[in-house]
């Protein structure tokens, strides 16, 4: 991955953006920074510059522009884009408005706000483009059947986790997964995902719709950010992603399992008018496997809270019939 600071300097020179300080940097698991955001000015007004050099293909600025072009909602929109450049399928930058006067939603959401958030999700889905632009319909993985697409992603996460565990072993550090237990759960979980997703449609999706990506403006409308994950995903994926972001990753891992599980069940109840538990079950299993492999095992950080989360997730899989 390229030096993001150098990429930001190049983007500023090319666009006329007056580069200020870096206000955000994001990593791709344990492999280092893949995106960064800088504050500054563009055409005399406050703005921000986002640069990215990501192992995963992303046409982020065009995805924002396409959503804004077709969106008819008065409640939710994407950020205004002032200038952009896609350099390669993995690398680019864009200058956008600087959001002010409000704030991003916090996670986990208060229980009383979950139903209102789900209404925002339905509003977004109603107004999001139904298909990718033809020039971006190039990813072979997204042409797969839903069950094959999910299996491909799980295999990629397994490779990331395996590499991370090998690095821990070589460094004399504690490993996170006991191979025998993991292998049994993995095999049954993968089979449940493959079987459960047969016949599902692949939907063009923002891919990262969660409370922390929604900025509430003073007029009580919202700006949806971070279009870096916009791809085709199986039906039900985005609904379960909300549970993943707001609870599986954000809840206190020290909670007793029965109390922790209530957060999952509460979200499933909120989603129930549109998605039954039977419909969401294979996608939820996929998300739990991905959380164990990629978000916990493949990522750097303190092992203790990860081990606590992994144990909670094993127990959730057991409640979903995966033991």
- Helix axes of 257-271 and 114-127: crossing angle, nearest 10 degrees: 40
* pLDDT beneath 70: ranges in the chain: 1-2, 29-31, 136-138
Domain co-membership, 94 together with 140: no
Domain co-membership, 20 together with 152: no
Domain co-membership, 205 together with 92: no
CB burial of 192-208 (b: ≥16 within 10 Å; e: otherwise) equals bbbebbeebebbbbbbb
Domain co-membership, 173 together with 92: no
Query: Quick one: which of 184, 187, 181, 161 has its CA closest to 311?
Result: 181
Domain contains 128 = no
Domain co-membership, 49 together with 158: no
Q: What is the domain range of residue 244?
A: 136-319
Q: Which of 51, 76, 98 is the last residue of a domain?
A: 98
Q: Note the pLDDT tens digit of each residue in 58-93.
A: 899 999 999 999 999 999 999 999 999 999 989 999
Domain contains 124 = no
Domain co-membership, 172 together with 296: yes
Domain contains 114 = no
Domain co-membership, 85 together with 151: no
Residue 138 confidence (pLDDT): 62
HSE, CB side, 13 Å, CA atoms: give it for residue 291. Answer: 27
Domain contains 118 = no
Domain contains 315 = yes
Residue 135 confidence (pLDDT): 74
Domain contains 262 = yes
Distance CA 250, CA 268 (A): 16
Domain co-membership, 177 together with 228: yes
Residue 31 confidence (pLDDT): 62
Domain co-membership, 157 together with 205: yes
Residue 30 confidence (pLDDT): 56
Give the Cα-Cα-Cα angle 295, 96, 203 (nearest 5 degrees): 50
- CATH number for position 31: 3.30.200.20
Domain co-membership, 143 together with 89: no
Residue 1 confidence (pLDDT): 41
Q: What is the DSSP letter of 139?
A: -
Domain contains 248 = yes
Q: How many folded domains does the chain comprise?
A: 2
Domain contains 127 = no
């Amino acid at each position: 991955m390229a030096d993001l600071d150098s990429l930001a300097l190049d983007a500023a020179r090319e666009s006329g953006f007056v580069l200020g300080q870096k206000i955000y940097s994001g990593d791709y698991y344990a492999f280092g920074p893949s995106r960064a955001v800088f504050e500054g000015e563009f055409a005399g007004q406050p703005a921000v510059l986002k640069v990215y050099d990501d192992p995963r293909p992303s046409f982020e600025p065009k995805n924002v522009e396409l959503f804004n072009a077709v969106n008819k909602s008065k409640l939710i929109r994407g950020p205004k884009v002032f200038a952009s450049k896609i350099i390669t399928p993995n690398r680019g930058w864009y200058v956008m408005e600087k959001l002010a006067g409000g704030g991003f939603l916090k996670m986990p959401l208060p229980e009383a706000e979950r139903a209102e958030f789900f209404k925002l999700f339905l509003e977004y889905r109603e107004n999001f483009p139904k298909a990718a632009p033809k020039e971006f319909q190039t990813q072979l993985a997204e042409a797969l059947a839903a069950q094959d697409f999910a299996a491909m992603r799980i295999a990629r996460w397994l490779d990331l986790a395996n590499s991370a565990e090998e690095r821990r072993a070589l460094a004399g550090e504690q490993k996170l997964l006991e191979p025998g237990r993991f292998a049994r759960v993995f095999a049954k979980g993968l089979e449940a995902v493959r079987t459960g997703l047969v016949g599902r449609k692949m939907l063009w999706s923002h891919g990262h719709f969660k409370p922390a990506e929604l900025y509430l403006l003073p007029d009580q409308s919202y700006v949806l950010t971070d279009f870096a994950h916009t791809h085709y995903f199986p039906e039900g994926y985005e609904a379960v992603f909300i549970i993943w972001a707001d609870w599986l990753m954000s809840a206190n891992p020290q909670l007793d399992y029965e109390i922790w599980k209530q957060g999952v069940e509460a979200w499933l109840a909120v989603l129930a008018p549109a998605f039954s538990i039977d419909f969401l079950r294979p996608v939820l299993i996929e998300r739990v496997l991905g959380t164990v492999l990629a978000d916990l095992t493949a990522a750097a950080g303190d092992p203790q809270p990860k081990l606590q989360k992994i144990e909670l997730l094993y127990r959730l899989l057991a409640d979903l019939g995966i033991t």
